[in-house]
């Protein structure tokens, strides 16, 4: 894929005019005066969400009350929304459910994966992951490693292959790294992990809805993912969990709550896991947030993922090209090769990344900062235009050249940075 030639603002307008996905931007309510390059942290609000949430609150809850578990289909929501997400990640119908948070789901699948590998090979002592994997993934793995007397081995991405050996129990990776946007080859690494006798757990937080994912074709073992990034499900939207059907029924997962029971409303005192992925449900799901998630997932289903990926690459290549030509001092921290990158671009600044990002946000261009030195920009092709890329770089260049980021107000840390 070659980068689009865009050396003027006019060129960007022309690219937007020919963008086959341009009309999908109409699905969203974007605030005035903002260029939003943080959809990889929190996706924007779909136009359909407010009315749907209002319907759930006022009619389904307010009027229907407890009856809505049946009449409004609340009881089926984890599966219904799960089946929609399944289409985006190469999973089959009935193989994926929405539940809990990514962290909680990771605990479930990593527990299951460890039990499976260690039932077969008790000597396998290692969970291998990437040192800069998203911290919550590492914290959950650390907890389970401690519990099971195992080791969590953290390595650099280029060293993963050499750690897939006879000690491997589970290789746990986020497909797209949250800091650098580096995209792992899921099929190749899964194959290598299997060749070493281990299993794989994939976190799709930064890939589901951002690029084509094919869990089945990759022969992956387990996966989890996030509802509030590229799936536009709203703040803290519930997450999802998938188990390859060859593993789904092999074990209980330890969070054996009533929604994962074979017959939750028989109220039996002993746990009997549901068949298939439903046993990865636990407690009662947050229905309002779950209904909002469905609206977000629908916005992604409206796009063809191949076209979406093509646009994502064009946007990120253009951004890299413009920043490198206009913003000296920023170092590309993402892979330069588009095929090795998700839908985000990160630049490092050795000392002033945080205030630079605050100054940029004050100008209405919202990216985020990731300690210690990363300015991170997410490009959600559903609603990001080429003109946004141009204008964002214009503002970033002005921040750098004006030196305004030295102002004290841009150097005060917030709770969430």
Residue 111 contacts residue 259 (beta carbons within 8 Å): no
228 assigned to active site:
yes
Is residue 159 annotated as part of the catalytic site, yes or no? no
Nearer to a second copy (CB atom), residue 3 or residue 139 = 139
Alpha-carbon span 329 to 349, nearest angstrom: 7
* HEC string for 343-385: CEEEEECCCCHHHHHHHHHHCCEECEEECCCEEEEECCCCCCC
The backbone region for 149, taken as left when phi is positive above 0, alpha when psi lies in -120 to 50, beta otherwise, is left
Q: Which is nearer to a second copy, 158 or 266 (CB)?
A: 266
- Rounded to whole angstroms, the Cα distance separating 412 from 105 reads 35
CB of 63 to a second copy, least distance (A): 5
Tokens of 385: 């235009």
**Of 28, 36, 107, 134, catalytic:** 134
Phi-psi region of 271 (alpha: psi -120 to 50; beta: other; left: phi over 0): beta
* Closer Cβ to a second copy, 248 or 313, answer by number: 248
Structure tokens at 305: 């993922």
Which residue lies nearer to a second copy by CB, 44 or 400?
A: 44
Active-site residue, 28 included = no
Catalytic residue, chosen from 369, 376, 377, 383, is 376
The residue among 211 and 290 lying less far from a second copy, judged by its C-beta, is 290
Give the separation between CA 219 and CA 199, rounded to whole angstroms.
10
> Which is nearer to a second copy, 17 or 235 (by Cβ)?
235
User: Which DSSP string do the residues of 308-337 spell out, in sequence order?
Assistant: HHHHHHHHHHHHHHHHHHH-TT-EE-S-SS
Query: Nearest-5° angle of CA 156, CA 162, CA 163?
Result: 75
Work out how close the CB of 214 gets to a second copy at its nearest, in angstroms, rounded to a whole number: 26
How far is it, in rounded angstroms, from Cα 270 to Cα 57? 34
Q: Report yes or no: 245 and 221 within 8 Å, Cβ to Cβ.
A: no
Q: Which of 29/250 has CB closer to a second copy?
A: 29
Smallest distance, a second copy to C-beta of residue 259, A: 8
| Choice among 38, 203, 298, 388 that is catalytic | 203
341 is catalytic: no
Between 166 and 371, CB nearer to a second copy: 371
- Nearest Cα neighbor of 365 from 384, 351, 338 is 384
Nearest distance, CB of residue 212 and a second copy, angstroms = 25
Provide the 8-state DSSP code for 261: B
Shortest distance in whole angstroms from residue 328 CB to a second copy = 27
Please say if 229 is a catalytic residue.
Answer: yes
Q: How far is the CB of 1 from a second copy (least distance, A)?
A: 29
Rounded Cα–Cα distance for residues 374 and 347 (Å): 6
Q: Position of tokens 């990865």?
A: 280
* Least separation in angstroms between CB 31 and a second copy: 5
Which residue among 28, 228, 240, 379 is the active-site one? 228
In the set 25, 179, 229, 370, the catalytic residue is 229
Helix, coil or strand: residue 404? helix
Buried b (16+ CB within 10 A) or exposed e, 125-145: bbbbbbebbbeebbebbeebb
CA distances to 146, 252, 281 from 273, rounded to whole Å, are: 26, 7, 10
CB of 44 to a second copy, least distance (A): 7
**What's the order of all strands across the beta sheet hosting 331-332?**
331-332, 344-348, 374-378, 368-370
Active-site positions read 134, 203, 228-229, 376
């Amino acid at each position: 894929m070659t980068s689009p030639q865009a050396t003027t603002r006019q060129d960007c307008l022309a690219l937007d005019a020919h963008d086959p996905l341009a009309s999908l931007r109409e699905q969203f309510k974007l605030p005035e005066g903002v260029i939003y390059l943080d959809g990889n942290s929190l996706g924007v609000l779909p136009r359909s969400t407010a009315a749907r949430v209002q319907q759930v609150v006022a009619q389904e809850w307010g009027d229907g009350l407890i009856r809505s578990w049946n009449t409004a289909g609340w009881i089926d929501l984890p599966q219904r929304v799960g089946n929609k997400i399944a289409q985006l990640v190469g999973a089959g119908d009935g193989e994926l459910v929405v539940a809990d948070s990514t962290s909680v789901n990771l605990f479930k699948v990593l527990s299951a994966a460890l039990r499976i590998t260690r039932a077969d090979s008790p000597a396998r002592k290692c969970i291998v992951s990437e040192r800069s994997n998203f911290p919550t993934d590492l914290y959950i793995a650390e907890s389970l490693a401690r519990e099971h007397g195992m080791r969590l081995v953290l390595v650099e991405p280029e060293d993963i292959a050499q750690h897939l050996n006879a000690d491997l129990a589970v290789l746990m990776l986020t497909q797209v790294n949250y800091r650098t946007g580096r995209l792992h080859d899921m099929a190749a690494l899964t194959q290598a992990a299997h060749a070493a006798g281990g299993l794989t757990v994939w976190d799709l937080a930064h890939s589901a809805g951002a690029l084509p994912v094919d869990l089945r074709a990759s022969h992956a073992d387990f996966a989890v993912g996030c509802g509030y990034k590229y799936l536009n499900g709203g703040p803290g939207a519930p997450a999802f969990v998938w188990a390859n059907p060859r593993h789904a029924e092999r074990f209980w997962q330890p969070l054996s709550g009533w929604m994962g029971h074979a017959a939750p409303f028989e109220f039996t005192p002993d746990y009997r896991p549901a068949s298939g992925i439903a046993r990865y449900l636990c407690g009662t799901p947050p229905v309002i947030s779950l209904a909002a998630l469905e609206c977000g997932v629908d916005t992604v289903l409206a796009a063809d993922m191949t076209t979406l990926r093509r646009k994502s690459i064009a946007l990120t290549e253009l951004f890299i090209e413009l920043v490198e030509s206009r913003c000296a001092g920023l170092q590309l921290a993402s892979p330069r090769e588009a095929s090795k990158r998700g839908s985000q671009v990160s630049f490092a600044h050795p000392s002033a990344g945080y205030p630079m990002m605050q100054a940029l946000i004050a100008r209405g261009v919202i990216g985020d900062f990731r300690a210690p030195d990363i300015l991170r920009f997410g490009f959600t092709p559903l609603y990001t235009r080429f003109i946004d890329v141009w204008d964002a770089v214009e503002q970033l260049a002005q921040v750098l050249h004006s030196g305004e980021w030295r102002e004290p107000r841009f150097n005060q840390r917030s709770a969430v940075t």
